Chains A and B, each alone.
Chain A
Amino acid sequence: NAGVTQTPKFQVLKTGQSMTLQCAQDMNHNSMYWYRQDPGMGLRLIYYSASEGTTDKGEVPNGYNVSRLNKREFSLRLESAAPSQTSVYFCASSQPSGAGISYEQYFGPGTRLTVT
């Protein structure tokens, strides 16, 4: 099993350009997440998808859109990149228990994005 995969690994954008970060998981997890991590900081949730067909905002959704394409794939789109979006982006997935408690999250390797 590959776990959680992300593409691309690195990207440099100019201000105003758009791009889509791709994420896929092969663990049959229902829930998927997008986080950003700025240098020396913790993880901040951008968007999440509790199950296929649903998406919801996290802490820092402004400037981003997401699509839960199917159970495996969850993409993050930057419509008009800004230097403040320079960060490392992590995708994660988890499998909630029957009680609605979400257990461990499995993270992808990250995408390092620089916006100039």
Chain B
Amino acid sequence: QQPVQSPQAVILREGEDAVINCSSSKALYSVHWYRQKHGEAPVFLMILLKGGEQKGHEKISASFNEKKQQSSLYLTASQLSYSGTYFCGSGSPYKLIFGSGTRLLVRP
């Protein structure tokens, strides 16, 4: 089952904050977050594991609520370079199912 991401798109001014949500109808054991710029490959940002361990980006944080089967990605003091499409992925270690993405545009 594909995770559901919200919002579908968001426009920010540089320096503003954003939250991107990812929810699943199935139990989540881990959640991956990736960012993809237009015409480029996805790039790993963060992984959250059951039990609270996180591995990833220094300037971007995330939360993982196992009971609610949700994860949220927090982008604080956004920079122009944060623009792109953000995908969450969940599932078994080898079979990630990705959401359809959240398009983020940061304007000067």
B30 contacts A43, CB within 8 Å?
Answer: no
Q: Which residues of A contact B42 (CB under 8 A)?
A: 43, 90, 105, 107
Q: Scan A38-52; emit 1 where CB is below 8 A from any B CB, else 0.
A: 000111110010100
Of the candidate stretches B10-18, B43-51, B58-66, B68-76, the one touching chain A is B43-51
Chain A, interface residues (CB within 8 Å), range: 20 to 34
A48 contacts B99, CB within 8 Å?
Answer: no
Q: Which residues of A contact B47 (CB under 8 A)?
A: 103-104
Q: Which residue of A lies closest to B87 (CB)?
A: A42
Q: How long is the Cα–Cα vector from A107 to B95 in the complex, in angstroms?
A: 15
A90 contacts B44, CB within 8 Å?
Answer: no
Of the candidate stretches A14-22, A67-75, A78-86, A94-102, the one touching chain B is A94-102
Known: A48-B94, A96-B93. A105 touches B100 (CB 8 A): no
A104 contacts B55, CB within 8 Å?
Answer: yes
Q: Which residues of B contact A48 (CB under 8 A)?
A: 94-95
* Interface residue ranges of A26-76 to B (CB < 8 Å): 31, 33, 41-45, 48, 50, 56, 58-59
Q: Which of A44, A101, A108, A110 contacts B93 (CB 8 A)?
A: A101
Chain B, interface residues (CB within 8 Å), range: 20 to 34
Q: For the complex, is B19 an interface residue (Cβ under 8 Å from A)?
A: no
B94 contacts A31, CB within 8 Å?
Answer: yes
Most buried by B among A45, A48, A90, A109: A45
B41 contacts A90, CB within 8 Å?
Answer: yes
Q: Can you report 19 A-B residue pairs in the complex whose CB atoms are below 8 A from each other?
A: A31-B94, A41-B100, A41-B101, A42-B98, A42-B99, A42-B101, A43-B42, A43-B87, A48-B95, A50-B94, A59-B97, A90-B42, A101-B93, A102-B93, A103-B47, A103-B55, A104-B44, A106-B44, A107-B43
- B: residues with CB less than 8 A from A are 2, 30, 32, 34, 40-44, 47, 49, 55-56, 87, 89, 93-101
- A: residues with CB less than 8 A from B are 31, 33, 41-45, 48, 50, 56, 58-59, 90, 96, 100-110
Given A48-B94, A48-B95, A105-B96, 15 more A-B residue pairs with CB atoms under 8 Å apart are A31-B94, A42-B99, A42-B100, A42-B101, A43-B42, A43-B87, A45-B95, A58-B95, A59-B95, A96-B93, A101-B49, A104-B55, A104-B56, A105-B44, A107-B42
